[in-house]
Amino acid sequence: MAAVIRKAKTEPVSKAAQSRQTKPPVQQHFDWPILNIATGQVSLPRYEYLGLLIEANATDPALWPKGLKKGARLLARIRRIETDCIKRFGEFDWEKLDPDTQDAYDGSRGELNKLRQDPKEPLTSWDDLKRKIDARVANANK
């Protein structure tokens, strides 16, 4: 699923330039955003669009893609916990949260991370990850 972001203002472009930009490339795969100058739209993979929503703190479900609107609720919950902690302690410190709030925070972050998981990215087991980290540390110490 690709999200569509509309440009607020489009610049006049020659018809030749428009036709070059709107034709799909031959036998190439792009992992970056694709700009369609003719329509003034940018297509993004779902996980990148969700990353932008999270960075922008977009908690309005209308901005979230269909079927992923719970992401807005999860993000709002995470930000509310962080804000409450800052009001109470002057900074966000997970360790200062009570156990139930820690669980709610971690659970919401985990669900939100699942939503933005890149389907092309292979999942790594804990043992594989630990081996990779140990190998990097060993190489860095040489």
Arithmetic mean of pLDDT, 90-98: 95
Sequence letter at residue 39: T
Instruction: Indicate the burial class of 125 (C-beta count within 10 angstroms; 0-12, 13-18, 19 or more).
Output: exposed
Contact 49, 66 (CB under 8 A): no
Q: Residue 90: what pLDDT?
A: 95
Q: Give the closest residue to 66 by CA, choosing from 114, 119, 115.
A: 115
Read off the pLDDT of residues 103-128 as tens digits, 9 standing for 90 and up.
Answer: 999 999 999 998 888 777 777 788 88
Distance CA 46, CA 64 (A): 10
pLDDT level of residue 15 (50, 70, 90 thresholds): low
Domain locations in the chain? 2-117
**pLDDT for the residue numbered 32:** 59
* Distance separating alpha carbons of residues 124 and 6, to the nearest angstrom: 35
